[in-house]
A and B are shown apart, each in its own frame.
Chain A
Amino acid sequence: MGTFSQILELDDDETHDFSKDMVLAFFGQALTTFDKMDGALTAKNLPELGSLGHFLKGSSAALGIHKVQAACEKMQHYGDLRDEQAHEDLTPEDALERIAKLIAEVKAEYKEAEGWLRKWYRGGGGPA
């Protein structure tokens, strides 16, 4: 959570207005992206899925939500028909199948992170 605490340091006062804004923007953005992902999956639009993965990867990385970040990175590569871990190319069908699983995974990770963050802010802050 180093990234997140660094963001908190940027807050000007006890209200955490800045970081809260950012986190809320992330929530909104993530939900929109999930919607788009579902749409792209239905349309079997792999490039779009890849770029959506990239997009969410960027914003989750900015907040330091590494699990979401990692899952999104995988999705990005699957979108390019590539498995970076196994270093092999994928067929479109294979990629879509994996992405379908991955989206569920990302959503779960995101829920967890969102829960944690909401709790953190509800609790009025504290050490991150």
Chain B
Amino acid sequence: MRAIIPSLAALAVAAAIVPAVTAPAWARDSVSIGMTLEPPILDPTAGAAAAIGEVTYQNIFQGLTQIDAAGQVVASLATSWSVSADGKTYTFHLAKGVVFSDGEKFGCDDVKFSLDRARGKDSVNPQKALFAPIASVACPDAATAVVTLGQPTASFLFGMAMPAAVIVAPGSAAGDKTKPVGTGPYMLGNWVKGDHVTLVRNPKYSGKAPAMASATFRFIADPAAATAAMLAGNLDAFTLFPAPEAIAQLKADKKLRVEIGSTSGKIIVSLNEAKKPFGNLLVRRAMAYAIDRNAYNQAVLDGYGTPIGSHDVPGDAGYVDLASTYPYNAAKAKQLLAQAGYPHGFAMTMVLPPPAYARRGGEVIAAMLGQVGIKVKLVDMEWAQWLSQAFTHHDYEATIVSHVEPRDLYQYANPHYYWNYHSATYDALYKKYQAATDPAAQLALWGDLQKQLAHDEPNIFLCAMPKIGVWNANLRGMWKNALITVDIVGQMSWAK
């Protein structure tokens, strides 16, 4: 209790000072939020950049379902739904009285339009795979949508909660890239390209009017500039703060609140199994033993990450902790390498995209692998080159990358994916998971998938990416954890 009193006093002092230097807190109904990258467009059904979802998801656009702060799928435009016993037919009961921000009425025809457009031949939806299971969409009446799947798909409702699956209207969809029209509580105010996007209340929103009248998203790529903007009070919040090294400084500032949570980012050393010697399980396990995940976490993520042992994160409901599958053991690594036919190690090249987890992380990983005789040559690449060379043309041996899509275990069943992992056992297990209709069985199988990956170690799983959030101590409604990058302005408010 004694520890609380001084901090309460400090808060009171801070609360007394802050209104004096900035706008009066009781009158504030706007918020300014920092983000590192600018959304190129504002239509999440036409571009993959996470920044598009961060600005628009649940603010401008809504989906049939949505992801909540706990990572669960909950109702959105569909207020409830039922699933047939064979797991193939989903009947969605739609919210009534909902209107798009341009005045168009929302109904089942919009759902049908959005889903058919996303899975159509000319679709440029970045997550088209989410819609692949859909066989047909029917509208028995304006408030009911019946979606029939070709086969049961356990991940379907989760997929429909993704930003790429939001509902758009036939009349306005083509213009959504620059003039987004959705059913959410906010709409586009103005967009000064390269500087900020401002959202304002949507007067036609059918629900309760949100507390914030407007929200400004400012784009600040430079970590030092982001730190300065938070310290100077130019920003109220930074959801994915880019400078972990500045956290101690920000924590010392009583006007700010720092929350370290989890994202769905999985930092992995991707190995190209089509290249020698990475097709050899013994070599992959040797590398897994040679890498000290805790040391990586300390050196690269300032200790804010969580070591992982498979392709899932602690924030996911079905997460299984497998981080100790290959505990750091250099002697064991050398022994496995010798067993694999590489008693003196081997030479390899690792390509590194720009983020610090890869560039700084690459140095750390190379040093660790060097300890067991694996000589790593590091090659820096910018994203465009990485995507083209490593990701598309599979012209790489190893790389470090954070896979940010939530629940993306399906990529290990994709034979064309850039890591070239092929396992009949895994593919069968994945089919079984998708076909499961009972939630408990789905969860158990989800765990089995992770265990299978830990066993096969197709990639070296390093750490779950931390979500370093920084915001004004008086701001309410920010999320600590997030499976997808969001800023739900409708939930934000200023403390009285």
The judgment on whether A and B are partners is no
Q: Interface on B for A, CB 8 Å cutoff? A: none
